[in-house]
Structures are given as structure tokens and as C-alpha cells.
């Protein structure tokens, strides 16, 4: 059987709750999923620790890492670079652990090019009203910022149909179950099972050849 892990890209509007859902997924299925910690050139926000939220890098260092081929994908988003380290992802996948990338649209589409087996999920809140409520709940966002996040969401919505699955985040646990179901289905898809399909054909050929002798 194919024992490689599945690479899962999760994107969603700011306020879709993807961070909370991913945290719950990791807690609920220990050892099955790993979250990749990205590198970024943006400054840490209050409470963010280097090596936990992100690896915070200077622009010079980030460019050097690009040149050295360290990133599976990277993108520039609102003036800062963000990138996914290649070695962490490879190591986990080879050990059968599913890897989650919480990344924006351009990065997810780049991953699709480089890793055809990756599955792309787009997470949405139940309504625009709920999205706005979640953004307001953060308390840190003023009206103008909320407006600009909603406008950004409108741009991102244009790319949703390039994703594989739309994941509704109405309740955290329901949303976690939806992701788990998708991953379970992908694991038995004919794409992921191509090696097994080859072996079934070889097995039949060999059996019939022996019978014919
Ligand atoms: P924030 O600055 O709010 O933490 O993240 C901004 C955006 O960058 C979010 O949509 C987040 O998912 C995305 N992002 C975080 N890490 C990466 C990464 O490694 N690659 C790409 N392409 N996007 C990322």
C-alpha cells in the first residue's frame, strides 16, 4: 500500500478560522498530521514567537534561501515574502504523516504544479455577515481594516474554483471532520494508488501467464 502522507494546502479568507481549525485537527489526531512552519520576512506580531508561528527572516536571508532551493514554494503577499521549507515537508510525507500548509492562494497553486498529489482546500465561513462578525471579534481591527480584509476576500474568492474542495467552517469540530473525510478519500484515490494499480495489473498478468504454461 502507498504509505506516503498527503500534502494538504489550506487557504481561506482572513477570519475564516483556519488557524483554530488546524490546531484542533492536530490535537484530535496526534501523529497523523503535521503543520509546516513557514518562513516570512514580515515582523512578528505581539505574542508571536520565532520558530512557533513562523521563522522570521530578514529579506536578505530569505532571498538566499530561495537561491539555495530551500523552499517548496514561496510567494510575496502584501509586501512580504512567505515560504514553505522543502525538507520538513519531504521528511514527514515519507514517514506517512499528512502535512498541512496554511498558505495563501498563489502559494497553493504553485504547490499544485510541483506536487501533483497535493490536495487543495479552501475554507469559508457560513456567510459574509459571520465573516465580518469574526473579524470584529478580534477587537484589534478598525473599520477600515475590516473593509480591506473583506475586499481582499472578494479577490481571493475569484480563485476558489481552482481548489479541490470547499470546506465550510460553521463549527470547529464539524469542520475538522470534513477535512479528515477528504483526506481519507484522497488516500484511496486512483491517483494516490497508482503504484497499487500497477501491481494489480502485473499480478494478473503473472498469474495468467503461469496458468497458461
Ligand atoms: P499572516 O501575515 O497574516 O500571518 O499571513 C498572511 C498570508 O500568508 C496568509 O494567507 C497565510 O496563510 C499566508 N502564508 C503563511 N505562510 C505561507 C507560506 O509559507 N507560503 C505562502 N505562499 N503563503 C503563506
One-character DSSP codes across the chain = ---PPPEEEEEE-TTS-HHHHHHHHHHHSTTTEEEPPPEESSPPPTT--BTTTBEE--HHHHHHHHHTT-EEEEEEETTEEEEEEHHHHHHHHHTT-EEEEE--HHHHHHHHHH-TT-EEEEEE-S-HHHHHHHHHHTSS--HHHHHHHHHHHHHHHTTGGGSSEEEE-SSHHHHHHHHHHHHHHHHTSTTTTHHHHHHHHHHHHHHHHHHH-
Does the Cβ of 156 fall within 6 Å of ligand 1?
Answer: no
Closest CA to 119 of 19, 186, 200, 203: 186
pLDDT of residue 141: 72
- Mutation to probe ligand 1, out of 22, 35, 80, 103 (largest number of atoms < 8 A from CB): 103
Question: Residue 1: pLDDT above 70?
Answer: no
Q: Compute the distance from residue 71 Cα to the ligand 1 centre, in Å.
A: 14
Minimum mean pLDDT range among 46-55, 131-140, 203-212 = 131-140
Does the Cβ of 104 fall within 6 Å of ligand 1?
Answer: yes
pLDDT bracket for residue 78 (50, 70, 90): confident
Average pLDDT over all residues of the chain: 95
Does the Cβ of 153 fall within 6 Å of ligand 1?
Answer: no
Minimum mean pLDDT range among 34-48, 100-114, 126-140, 156-170 = 126-140
Whole-number percent of the chain with pLDDT over 70: 99
- Mutation to probe ligand 1, out of 21, 38, 101 (largest number of atoms < 8 A from CB): 38
Interval 55-63 mean pLDDT: 98
Q: Compute the distance from residue 103 Cα to the ligand 1 centre, in Å.
A: 5
Amino acid at each position: 500500500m502507498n504509505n506516503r502522507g498527503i500534502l494538504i494546502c489550506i487557504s481561506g479568507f482572513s477570519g475564516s478560522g483556519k488557524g483554530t481549525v488546524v490546531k484542533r485537527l492536530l490535537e484530535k489526531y496526534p501523529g497523523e498530521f503535521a503543520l509546516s512552519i513557514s518562513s516570512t520576512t514580515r515582523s512578528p506580531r505581539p505574542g508571536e514567537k520565532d520558530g512557533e508561528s513562523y521563522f522570521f527572516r530578514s529579506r536578505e536571508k530569505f532571498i538566499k534561501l530561495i537561491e539555495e532551493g530551500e523552499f517548496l514554494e514561496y510567494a510575496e503577499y502584501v509586501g512580504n515574502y512567505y515560504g514553505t521549507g522543502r525538507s520538513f515537508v519531504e521528511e514527514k510525507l515519507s514517514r506517512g504523516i499528512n502535512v498541512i500548509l496554511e498558505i495563501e492562494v498563489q502559494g497553493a497553486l504553485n504547490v499544485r504544479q510541483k506536487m501533483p498529489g497535493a490536495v487543495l482546500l479552501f475554507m469559508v465561513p457560513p456567510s459574509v455577515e459571520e465573516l465580518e462578525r469574526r473579524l470584529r471579534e478580534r477587537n484589534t481591527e478598525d473599520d477600515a481594516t475590516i473593509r480591506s480584509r473583506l475586499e481582499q476576500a472578494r479577490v481571493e474568492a475569484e480563485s476558489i474554483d481552482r481548489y479541490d474542495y470547499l470546506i465550510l467552517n460553521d463549527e470547529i469540530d464539524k469542520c475538522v471532520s470534513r477535512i479528515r473525510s477528504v483526506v481519507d478519500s484522497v488516500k484511496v484515490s486512483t491517483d494516490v494508488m497508482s503504484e497499487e494499480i500497477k501491481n494489480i495489473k502485473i499480478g494478473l498478468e503473472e498469474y495468467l501467464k503461469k496458468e497458461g504454461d
